[in-house]
């Protein structure tokens, strides 16, 4: 009889231990779910310093905080790493590029990216420390343009529009597609972010607005400016499959908000233009 009592007691303790273990597992699972929920309220966005990071910090971040989201802004100084980071999943979105640049990167790298909303247009401009008019550039003058495919094409088309060169028809033209160069201008293809630093060494540099703003150039002193109906609207890029997530929808809505439009108008006074 004693043996049976000990056996019953042992079984009861084993069963209690088993139930306790199950209870612990359940609690652990609940905690993990809460952590995931918290993580889903954090949005990490890669952005160029100006105006992208400024817009995110000054306007978008407070709007998202009201909805319970935390916005982390990771600033990039180049045009390559933000798309690499996005494709690898180390950021949730990026905001620095226009549609043709994204499409060209996808074609070249095979990245699985797309975009949700267009936010603003940054007309590309020609600057000079030596000239007051583009037409005054001397024969053999030095011209610096961006070296990435889409922005180089924009720069060359701006120069063509202003009568300095003629180009072959096409979207992604380069200096090799110049068909007429009566002034025998010499072209240097330079990384976009470095163009302000070479401005002192050339007669003309064609510079993206975000780069010009970061370098404190006066956009109102530019010698030529791209049309405001340019197709090169800056966008919010995300990984395909994530465009309908709650946090990406919240971020997209905030970037197309009346508050962002007003900030762009009041702060940049025409140097960049809202695209929504």
Question: Helix, strand, or coil here: 271?
Answer: coil
What local confidence, expressed as pLDDT, does residue 187 receive? 98
- What confidence category does residue 38 fall into, taking pLDDT thresholds of 50, 70 and 90? low
Cα–Cα dist 4/250, whole Å:
65
> Does residue 14 surpass a pLDDT of 70?
no
pLDDT digits (tens, 9 = 90+) for 215-246: 999 999 999 999 877 789 999 999 999 999 99
- Percent of the chain surpassing pLDDT 90: 81
What local confidence, expressed as pLDDT, does residue 33 receive? 44
pLDDT digits (tens, 9 = 90+) for 24-34: 433 444 444 44
Domains with residue ranges and CATH for the chain: 40-122+231-274 (3.40.190.10), 125-225 (3.40.190.10)
Q: Are 47 and 76 within 8 A, CB to CB?
A: yes
- What confidence category does residue 40 fall into, taking pLDDT thresholds of 50, 70 and 90? confident
């Amino acid at each position: 009889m004693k043996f049976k009592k000990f056996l019953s007691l042992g079984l009861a303790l084993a069963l209690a231990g088993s139930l306790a273990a199950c209870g612990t597992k359940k609690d652990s699972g609940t905690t993990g779910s809460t952590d995931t929920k918290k993580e889903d309220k954090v949005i990490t966005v890669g952005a160029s310093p100006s105006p992208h990071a400024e817009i995110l910090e000054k306007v978008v971040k407070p709007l998202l905080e009201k909805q319970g989201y935390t916005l982390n802004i990771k600033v990039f100084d180049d045009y390559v790493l933000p798309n690499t980071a996005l494709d690898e999943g180390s950021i949730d979105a990026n905001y620095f590029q226009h549609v043709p640049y994204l499409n060209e990167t996808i074609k070249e790298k095979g990245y699985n990216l797309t975009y949700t909303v267009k936010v603003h247009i940054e007309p590309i401009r020609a600057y000079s420390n030596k000239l007051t008019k583009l037409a005054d550039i001397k024969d053999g003058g030095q011209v610096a343009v961006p070296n990435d495919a889409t922005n180089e094409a924009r720069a060359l088309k701006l120069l063509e529009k202003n009568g300095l060169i003629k180009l072959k028809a096409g979207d992604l033209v380069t200096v090799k597609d110049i068909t007429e160069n009566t002034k025998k201008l010499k072209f240097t293809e330079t990384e976009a972010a470095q163009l302000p630093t070479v401005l002192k060494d050339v007669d003309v540099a064609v510079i993206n607005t975000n780069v010009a703003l970061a370098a404190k150039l006066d956009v109102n002193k530019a010698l030529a400016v791209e049309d405001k109906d340019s197709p090169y609207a800056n966008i919010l890029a995300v990984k395909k499959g994530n465009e309908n997530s709650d946090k990406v929808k919240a971020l997209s809505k905030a970037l197309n908000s009346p508050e962002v439009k007003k900030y762009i108008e009041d702060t940049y006074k025409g140097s960049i233009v809202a695209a929504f």
